[in-house]
Structure 1
Amino acid sequence: MQRLHVFWQGVNSEGQPCEGILIEAGSLEQIHQQLHNQGFFQLQINPVEPTQLQKSLSVAWLAEMTGQWKQLADSGLPLKDCLRFLIRSQSDPTNKFRLHNALRHLESGNSLQESFQIAQGFPDLFTRLLAVAENSDQLPTILRALQQLYVLQEQERQERWQLLRYPLTIAGFALAIFLATTILLVPLFRRLYLAQGDELFWLSASLLQLSDSLRLQPLPWLASLLTVALITISVHRKISISQILNWLPWLGRLQQTVQIQLYSQALALMTKVELPLLEALELASPLLPKNLLSRQLRIQQSLLQGRKLYQAYQEASFLNPEQLRLLDLGESSEQIAYAFQRIADHQLQQIQRDRQRLQAFLQPFFMVLVALMVLALLLALYMPLFQMGMTF
């Protein structure tokens, strides 16, 4: 029998609302009976799948949660009370379960880092900086910096979709026009096209053949569409949108700059709270595109061999000359965090310029493609009529 993780809500014998979690607690009937025997009524029990707990948390939720936690910490509320308020503010049972689990282990004597690691789903960067905050009494400062980092990541995600929205909208519009023409209009001219026999314009013949196939044999097309959808979903589960964009010629360069900017921002945050540099580099590496991970490894190896940070980045061909100068100045003046922040700001400006150029190119490019498609459809539809007119 499968033993369940659950988040439950109810009221006690005095009518006060209560909630909690149970781990590997048996069947729903057993859980309900157990809680009822403990004096809880009007129970609402939400099972939580272990696979859901293992999934990484969304950046949007992390940004919202760290922002709320920062405000509570700024008000001087004790740590455990902050977590209780965070739990009450959540609407998703899985996230409530995670935070309840972290609070329970914190109350059992575990450290803040260990408690959130046990709760699952939280990034290593998040849990490691919580350990720094717990040991240095910098919790509000670190939460503010984490919120800024996650807000930047969420803004990048939204701007990426905004950049893709126009091409996807135009592509959908063009596909709708093409299907409507092929399925609805072409059959109206079918007898006319067939009457021309071998003299039928080649584009019209191809369109007629496609129209007959879509109308008379839709099942193979639907099966192909379903197969493509399943393959797309399967690929998306294994490969992130960021990785897919890195393969595209124009968007890949922009996406790589975005990821390096987030990497620099994370390093600025971690060096500011005096996290050891090698550990900071290791924690920031998941933010990099995969094709730069080998260079990141060379940087870490160079630092272990005693080279300066500036030299390590220069040998790895990781940053441009201007950014290397900023890093050299920051290292020589012992202001590495400030140097990484300046590099991140410089990269953010570059990203904004690249996005503007790409948007200026994509809009006319897709308009030209749609115009060419409409021209091809018009030729396929009306060229046989022109040929017939010339014959008579």
Structure 2
Amino acid sequence: MPSIDLSRYEKKKVVKPSKNTDGEGGLLALLNRDISFGSKELNDKKKEHLYLELSSLLEAGINLKSSFELITADQENQKDKQLYQTMQDAVIGGTTFSQALQQTGKFSLYEVYSLQIGEETGKLIEVLQDLAKFYENKIKQRRKITSALTYPCVVLTSSLGAVFFMLKFVVPMFGDVFKRFGGQLPWLTEKIIGVSQAMENNFWRFVLFTILTISFILFTRKTEKFRKIFSGLVLRTPLIGNLVQKIYLARFCNSMRLLINAKLPLLRAIALIRQMIRYYPIESSLQKVEDDIMKGKSLHESMQQFKVYPSKMIQLVKVGEETNQLDYFFGKISEQYISEVEYKTTTLSSVMEPLIIIFLGFIVGAILIAMYLPLFQMSNSFQ
């Protein structure tokens, strides 16, 4: 994490042109970059740095105005520098920090209301530290999942490319040779040549179908019906469904811990998380949970009617309500799910690698055998 040089305070900083606007170079920066397609919000990595640096400066006794000046002066990316300068000007003009963040449109309501509660209760530093920890854990989790699944995906893609190349170019050449000699081809060879011819005849149809499918998904992915159907299919997928469920449950619990710890009312916390969770099974359930709580039901009683929440989690939430320690128990649940996700991701990666290699090796081997069987038959007939 880039540190702030206090000696540069109130000194004019000369910004040197740089090819890397994030101030970090090389392949490592590219692999670690937080990518968000079409998102208007500041990315998670920059949020983590902002909250961590700001909490450290405030804890050191530097006021909010001076802290912002230091953070703004440290930015090398001109867009980030302009964003922080806008927030700094708003704070100097008398706007609260939470309102300054909200006016930029680069931060979620989840962050804005958490910081607002921190300002009102005098616990701004604690809320900033919690937000920094939240985004740190989110980034770590995403990177571990990405690193665990990258190699199997690369192997699968390259192997499928090799199979496509063989069916598209190699098999047709052998097929032309076999037609010249005539005779009955082995069953396996006929089937492989048939697959190759079908792919050749329907290649552009397949490309068009793929483009239309992707376009349909892009245009309908935000509709409630599509999200409901897609999330249901993902949940029913072996291994993957349970993994995705626990990833979002960990985020849900960590968000609840943070908001409850910031003394935000339970209904307000649920409403905010419903807007930012972006996972249909949890998002849709929280509307019903919110309504049930307003009618007098407890949180765990309302949650237990939804299959997305495991029974063990509901029991821990029940204990948290009875002991008035919901933030503590949500934190423990989140830590448990994060550990399970890391373990399952590593295990899934270890299992996928040999299975992919064996499966695609079998396909490539079948193609090769199918192409050489007629050659063996012809060599035997010449003897």
Give the match for residue 115 of structure 2: 130
Give the match for residue 342 of structure 1: 332
Pick from 109, 120, 128: which aligns with 1:143?
Answer: 128
Q: TM-score, normalised by structure 2?
A: 0.76
Give the match for residue 264 of structure 1: 253
Q: Which structure has more strand as a fraction of its residues? A: 1
Displacement over 6 Å in runs of 4+: 209-215, 243-246
Give the match for residue 365 of structure 1: 355
Task: Determine what percentage of the aligned residue pairs are the same residue.
Answer: 19
Q: TM-score, normalised by structure 1?
A: 0.75
1:164 CA drift (Å): 2.7
Counterpart residue identity of residue 82, structure 2: F
Does 1:154 find its partner at 2:143? no
Measured against aligned partners, the alpha-carbon deviations of 1:8-44 in whole angstroms (never above 9, x if no partner) come to xxxxxxx95589xxxxxxxxxxxxxxxxxxxxxx9xx
Does 1:171 find its partner at 2:160? no
Measured against aligned partners, the alpha-carbon deviations of 1:307-355 in whole angstroms (never above 9, x if no partner) come to 2223222344553333223222221221111121122123223323433
Deviates more, 1:272-281 or 1:100-109: 100-109
Give the match for residue 351 of structure 1: 341
Give the 3-state SS of the residue equivalent to 2:304 in structure 1. Answer: helix
Alignment CA distance shift 1:375-1:16 (3 Å): closer
Does 1:319 find its partner at 2:304? no
Alignment CA distance shift 1:209-1:319 (3 Å): closer
Give the 3-state SS of the residue equivalent to 1:104 in structure 2. Answer: helix
Counterpart residue identity of residue 262, structure 1: R
1:368 CA drift (Å): 2.2
Give the 3-state SS of the residue equivalent to 2:87 in structure 1. Answer: helix
Does 1:291 find its partner at 2:276? no
Within a 5 Å distance, the mapping from 1:297-308 to structure 2 comes to 297-308=287-298
Within a 5 Å distance, the mapping from 1:1-392 to structure 2 comes to 55-182=40-167, 185-186=170-171, 189=174, 192-197=177-182, 199-201=184-186, 204=189, 228=210, 232=214, 235=217, 239=221, 247-248=233-234, 249=237, 250-285=239-274, 286-287=276-277, 289-392=279-382
Alignment CA distance shift 1:222-1:171 (3 Å): farther
2:42·2:107 contact (CA, 8 Å) conserved in 1? yes
Alignment CA distance shift 1:212-1:328 (3 Å): closer
1:265 CA drift (Å): 0.7
Alignment CA distance shift 1:69-1:196 (3 Å): farther
1:271·1:337 contact (CA, 8 Å) conserved in 2? yes
Report which of the two structures shows the higher radius of gyration computed on alpha carbons.
Answer: 1
Deviates more, 1:255-264 or 1:166-175: 166-175
Alignment CA distance shift 1:210-1:315 (3 Å): closer
Mapped partners of 1:233, 1:367: distance in 2: 31
Mapped partners of 1:87, 1:373: distance in 2: 57
1:213 CA drift (Å): 10
Mapped partners of 2:45, 2:12: distance in 1: 32
Structure 1, unpaired ranges of 5+: 1-14, 20-41, 47-51
Give the 3-state SS of the residue equivalent to 1:200 in structure 2. Answer: coil
Mapped partners of 2:249, 2:96: distance in 1: 32
Give the 3-state SS of the residue equivalent to 1:109 in structure 2. Answer: coil
1:125 CA drift (Å): 0.9
Deviates more, 1:280-289 or 1:230-239: 230-239
Alignment CA distance shift 1:96-1:239 (3 Å): farther
Measured against aligned partners, the alpha-carbon deviations of 1:365-390 in whole angstroms (never above 9, x if no partner) come to 21221122112221232122122123
Alignment CA distance shift 1:17-1:269 (3 Å): closer
Measured against aligned partners, the alpha-carbon deviations of 1:58-81 in whole angstroms (never above 9, x if no partner) come to 222222222222222222211122
Tell me which of the two structures has the higher relative contact order, counting C-alpha pairs closer than 8 angstroms and 6 or more residues apart.
Answer: 2
Deviates more, 1:65-74 or 1:111-120: 65-74
Alignment CA distance shift 1:318-1:178 (3 Å): closer
Mapped partners of 2:218, 2:149: distance in 1: 16
CA root-mean-square deviation: 3.6
Counterpart residue identity of residue 327, structure 2: A
